[in-house]
Amino acid sequence: MVALALELRDLGQQVHLCAPPDFRAWIDGLALPVTPIGPPLRTGSRSQAAPSPPSPQQLRQLARDSVTAQFETVAAAAKGCDVIVAATALQVAARSVAELMDIPYVFAAYCPAVLPSAHHAPPVSPVPGPPTTDNGQLWARDAALFNGAFGDALNAHRTSVGLDPVDDVRGHIFTDRPWLAADQALAPWPEPTAGEVVQTGAWMPPDRPALPAELVAFLEAGEPPVYFGFGSSAGAPEGVTQAMIESARAHGRRVIVSRGWAGLSPDEDAPDCLSIGDVNHQALFTQVAAVVHHGGAGTTTTAARAGAPQVIIPQAYDQYYWAQRVDRLGIGTEHPQVTPTAGSLATALDRVLRADVAARARAVAATVRTDGARVAARRLMAGGGSTGHP
């Protein structure tokens, strides 16, 4: 969303972002107007203790509170705006606010698996119900989950402001012509006729500042290292950082460990290992032997653009899709769905630290487009692909 906002601003448009409060400092630093919405994300991600599952009554209250906050916050932030763009399936109120303001609304997904299709199952798995491999049934159950979680809260608010209730919450959020902010080569929309989905390409922000001097010195001191990081994923399994280091050493490789939201940190201070914070991945990934990560849309696309072989350790949601795509494209491999160990990671690295995989990764990198956010920005300005009211 920041990438899209920057492109719109470069094209002379005014923008306003709604984002979790722990992103505010970063967005403020880009001189983009931002309104905090919802709870901080990083605080929850760092929690290692598994909380008790909420009761049905607590879930209903959480849904009511969330939808109420969304109606209030989005309505205030969108005053004077010409269009609302939502890019999360949990942004339940945005389309209703657009209706009240009589302006267009666009929903964008970052991964094909988020949008219903006969060619894939929902990203939230398993969907409650009897076991089945029928994707149509799984998507119907997924729709029922949305209705059960948010239907009452959404319709109560819609009725209170004079809007008609909706009977398909997910369809209401997604619209009948959603946008897909994913690269066509890396993550194509699977339907034979793609007219119902507008694929713009991935929305990637421009290069950030140069790499820190310590990181540059480490990169220049030897052969390309292996990068490890779980990005914004939740707490990592105990001991996984040491397993990462040992797996790279088994291949004679140095190691870069990104602390990320999980707080990964080596237990030792060794010359072949460097711990880093937030850096410019677009610059870093062109200088590593492989990228081992959680499989988020942004990290996967950035590594693919850089031509870096990948090992993906999926943990949730769309990460399984990205792991499968990287494997099918021949630019990396999917780690088995078990707790990573030094042995399992070394085996995965053995599959990607090969000349043919590196060559394939470079070939695919040449096909990954870099103008997705610009395409989306121009389309918004032209009014194309936006969906108005039900």
The pTM (predicted TM-score) of the whole model is 0.91
Per-residue pLDDT, 49: 44
The pLDDT of residue 260: 77
Q: What is the pLDDT of residue 43?
A: 59
Round to whole Å and give the CA distance between 279 and 90.
28
Please identify which residue in the block is written with the tokens 């970052």: 110
Is residue 317 within 8 Å of 221, Cβ to Cβ? no
CA distance 172 to 83: 16
CA distances from 39 to 45, 69, 313 (A): 12, 11, 27
Distance CA 245, CA 265 (A): 11
Per-residue pLDDT of the chain (390 residues; tens, 9 = 90+): 999 999 999 999 999 999 999 899 999 999 999 999 988 887 544 444 445 566 767 777 888 889 999 999 999 999 999 999 999 888 999 999 999 999 999 999 999 999 999 999 999 766 777 888 899 999 999 999 899 989 999 999 999 999 999 999 999 999 999 999 999 999 999 987 656 899 999 999 887 789 999 999 999 999 999 999 987 665 666 778 899 999 999 999 999 999 877 777 777 778 999 999 889 999 999 999 999 999 999 999 999 999 999 999 998 889 999 999 999 999 999 999 889 999 999 999 999 999 999 999 999 999 999 999 999 999 999 985 445 433
Helix pair 135-160, 94-101: axis angle to 10 deg: 50
Name the 3-class secondary structure at 259.
coil
pLDDT given at position 234: 59
Residue with tokens 């409650």: 128
- Residue 242: CB atoms within 10 Å: 13
| Phi and psi at residue 319, to the nearest 5° | -65, -30
Q: Which pLDDT does position 54 carry in this prediction?
A: 64
Report the pLDDT value the prediction gives residue 344, as an integer from 0 to 100: 96
What burial letters (b/e) apply to 323-353, b meaning 16+ CB within 10 Å? Answer: bbbbbebbbbbbbeeeebebebbbbbbebbb
Domains in the chain, CATH or no CATH each: 2-204+370-382 (3.40.50.2000), 213-365 (3.40.50.2000)
